[in-house]
Structure 1
Amino acid sequence: MMSTKVLTSLVVLCCLSAVWAMPGDLVLMKDGISMGAVCLDGTPPGYYFRPGSGSGRSKLIMHMEGGGWCYNEDDCVGRSKTNLGSSKNWGPTASFNGFLSDDPQLNPLFYNWTLVFLKYCDGASFAGNVDKVVNWKDTDLHFRGFRILDLAVESVKSIANFSEVILTGCSAGGLATYIHTDYVASKFPGATFHAIADAGYFIDANNVNGEPLIRKEYQYVFKMQNCAGGVNQDCVKDLSPKGEEWKCFFPQYTEPYIKNKLFGLNSQYDTWQLGNILQLPCNPPKCTPDQMKLLENFGKEFLEAAADFIAGDSRGFFFDSCLHHCQSLGGEWTNIMVNGQRANETFATWYYEGSGSGSGREVDCAYPCNHSC
């Protein structure tokens, strides 16, 4: 149970800045090469590791990095030459903020937990698994994201016998959290397991012209990288007779199958989704009345898509109406408020099963109502 003192400390974190931080060290999983668990360009995958301290040594936060997807082979060739497709230029250390901070002033409940920050280099939210190397325009591509995830989990399990595990991720890593929660949980059978998906609830919605652009893009990624074996298998089992396995790449279709405890952290007006799914041709509030109507309708679509999530007994959520994308890694984690609760407070209340002043399940009013944005 959380103490009143700790809960009070959560409230006053909004204006503090980190005064110190211990970076995580890069661990390259070179043994993955022989197992075919490699980045797009064939280099070894890896993660940043920061050991826990005190009681946090036996507690794990495993964060999956985000960074979009490569939507076709040409796109993947370009991505394979960047840090999102190759480990060649990853730095030896990295520091983290927000929910991943090791500053007890900023992150009093989780600062001393062991941290694994899994680098993203496969382009399909750690879901792809194509046996053969794909040669595209004289470039070899390796679609092996699910093998990377599997290798990482086995590597992490060798660190300690963890009693508590939180799986998390932002953006494409947030989507990865939805599609991999049950799989990763199955690898830690003796641990208390929770997941928090940040800005990963990408909805199956049309753009401003009524075109299902994101659906087509996800369908191609799903097929190109052979993702059917790397998403929730209960979802695949139900949808494969209809040839709709690709739906399991969307949170709204896969979430009802997730058995483990899950917290959703998302803006109803996520800026990435406004620009890339809705393709809104303006920056709110500098939009025409017709464009603002499109924005309003998208927020309604988001809540409709998340209806099952909101109704779930084992679910927690913080769905605000601010214009942003990802919040657990920065100031939004402690600044934005919904119904008098901040995101970090809402998650803590849910995680510790109602020990806080809120419900652990907060849904905001419609844009632009929230003055904490």
Structure 2
Amino acid sequence: MASYTSLAVFLLTLFTFTASKEANLILLDDPGEAVCLDGSPPGFYYREGSGSDATKIIIHLEGGGVCVDEEDCLGRSKTDLGSSKNWKQMADFGGFLSDIKLFNEKFYDWNIVFVKYCDGGLYSGYVSQPVDVNGTSIYFRGNTILKAIMQYLRDNGIKEASDVILTGCSAGGIATYIHADYVRSVLPSSVNYRAMSDAGYFIEVLNVNGEPIAKERGQKVYKLHNMSISLDEDCAKDYTGNDTYKCTAPQYLYPYIKTPIFSFNSQYDTWQIENNLQLDCDPPHCTPEQMEKLQEFFKEFQAAETNIINSTTNGAFLDSCFAHCQSLDSHGWNRVKVGGQSAAETFANWYFGESEGSVKEVDCPYPCNKSC
């Protein structure tokens, strides 16, 4: 009986030690033009920080793909990725957003603002009038959503923040590249501000049949959502006409970003392999021909990440795991190692300017990394 009692006490202690504190949903009361695809108000989850880090804030942009045409956006408007009508009142987060010191030693007690994704256009579009799709009004207002949320945060204390990190994964990771400098522009100059993109470094690659579907998707989304409002001015001067969309593509936009930024990405990003390369297999269960296509993708990613590697100010953790969005779970954030360091350690080295430890880790080709 004593052993059962001891086990029960141990489990209770473990649960208490590792239980997350949930974040509360906040919807904008009077969003004006800043509405989700279906016209409902946008919002975010907020978890209050504590202790010496109570003045520090992580703003995370949720991901979730894009909608590429009006019918696609209409369908999305009936889900949680296009409407706030059914969002839960509470949420908890892991990895880089965890409030458990065991899993997130350096950032566990920061304030968390988890921005919900409901525009389908990388928080970047603006069409002034609603678009009628089969008798239903659809709103393309991603840029105004982000601006409205930043204004709300400014009105409610972010101006007093000492540190702010903008981050996001997948579509939110792309948006982090796009909007890193904008967010900097609305913060006081006294704020220590940096950004981290997770799984946002999308590259243009031909699919296995030689078709440029990644490029075509980028052009369609740019035009449908009218993303011109979100462009970096210098980038837009260099990419004109049919190439202007490239200023919303991290591969091309990266050199123009002035904000110090950390890139956390798999060089075998599963979303890109499945949807852009369109490789129909999961290693090691691939034919030799498919494996050749996979390794060609890796080489193209290496070529596209040259600007990241050569940067003297920015950091990076580029592993070779078959993964997508790794910063939100403990395994990807803490357990995957490159050069003997985790993403959490590498990012902390870069953010805090640690004198020991690398600020940039780049992995070898699959299947070399056994920690995946």
TM-score normalised over the length of structure 1: 0.93
Q: Which residue of 2 aligns with 1:255?
A: 254
| Number of aligned residues | 354
Cα shift readout 1:216-259 (whole Å, capped 9, x = no counterpart): 0111110011001123332123223x442101121010000000
Amino acid at match of 1:198: D
Correspondence for 1:335: 335
Q: State how far apart, in whole Å, the 2-side matches of 1:171 and 1:89 are.
A: 22
Which residue does the alignment assign to 1:4? Answer: none
* Aligned positions of 1:8-19 closer than 5 A: 19=18
What corresponds to 2:292 in structure 1? 293
> 2:195 corresponds to which letter in structure 1?
A
Aligned residue number for residue 346 of structure 1: 346
- Residue 204 of structure 2 corresponds to 204
Paired amino acid for 2:341: Q
Whether the 8 Å contact between 1:133 and 1:142 is mirrored in structure 2 is yes
AA partner of residue 226 (structure 2): N
Post-superposition shift, 1:208?
A: 0.5
1:99 to 86, 96, 99: 96
Q: Which residue number corresponds to residue 235 of structure 1?
A: 235
Please give the alpha-carbon distance, in whole angstroms, between the structure 1 residues aligned to 2:348 and 2:53: 16
Letter in 1 for 2:110: W
Amino acid at match of 1:99: F
Residue by residue, what CA displacement relative to the aligned partner does 1:162-191 show, whole Å, maximum 9, x if unpaired?
A: 111100001100001011100111111321
Code of the aligned partner of 2:245:
W
C-alpha contact (below 8 Å) 1:30/1:45 kept by paired residues: no
Once the 2 structures are TM-superposed, how far is the Cα of residue 288 of structure 1 from its aligned partner?
Answer: 0.5
Q: 1:113 aligns with which of 106, 110, 114?
A: 110
Residue type of the partner of 1:66? G
Alignment of 1:58-97 (within 5 A): 58-97=55-94
Alignment of 1:275-294 (within 5 A): 275-294=274-293
For structure 2, which runs of at least 5 residues remain unmatched after alignment?
1-13
SS at match of 1:277: helix
Counterpart contact for 1:268–1:299, Cα < 8 Å: yes
Structure-2 residue corresponding to 1:322: 321
Q: How does 1:183-202 map to 2 (within 5 A)?
A: 183-188=182-187, 189-202=189-202
- Secondary structure class of the residue paired with 2:273: helix
Give the Cα separation in 2 of the matches to 1:323 and 1:118.
26
- Structure 1 stretches of 4+ moved >4 Å: none
Q: Which residue of structure 1 lines up, in the alignment, with residue 4 of structure 2?
A: none
Q: Is 1:367–2:363 an aligned residue pair? A: no
**Other structure's SS at 1:362 match:** strand
Give SS of 1:168's match: strand
Note the C-alpha offset of 1:51. 1.1
Residue of structure 2 equivalent to 1:13: none
Q: Supply the distance in 1 between the matched residues of 2:155 and 2:301 (Cα, whole angstroms).
A: 40
Q: 1:48 is matched with which residue: 45, 65, 70?
A: 45
Q: Distance in 2 between matches of 1:79 and 1:225?
A: 14
Quote the residue 2:127 is aligned against.
Answer: 130
> Aligned residue for 1:245?
244
1:148 match: secondary structure: helix
User: Using the alignment, how far apart are the partners of 2:232 and 2:117 within structure 1?
Assistant: 19
2:220 corresponds in structure 1 to: 220
Match of 1:142 among 139, 142, 153: 139
Q: Distance in 2 between matches of 1:234 and 1:89?
A: 40
Distance 2:99 2:59 in 1: 14
Equivalent residue number for residue 3 of structure 1:
none
Letter in 2 for 1:185: R
In the TM superposition, what whole-angstrom CA distance separates every residue of 1:46-77 from its partner, at most 9, and x where no partner exists? Answer: 00011111222211100000000001111000
| Paired letter, 2:312 | D
Per the alignment, in what secondary structure is the counterpart of residue 244 of structure 1?
A: helix
Unmatched 5+ residue regions in structure 1? 1-15
Paired residue type of 1:369:
C
Q: What residue is the counterpart of 1:175 in the other structure?
A: 174
Distance 1:274 1:243 in 2: 25
Q: Distance in 1 between matches of 2:206 and 2:197?
A: 23
Larger-Rg structure: 2
CA distance in 2, matches of 1:356, 1:73: 51
**TM-score with structure 2 setting the length:** 0.93
Q: Which moved more, 1:210-219 or 1:225-234?
A: 225-234
CA positional deviation for 1:159? 2.7
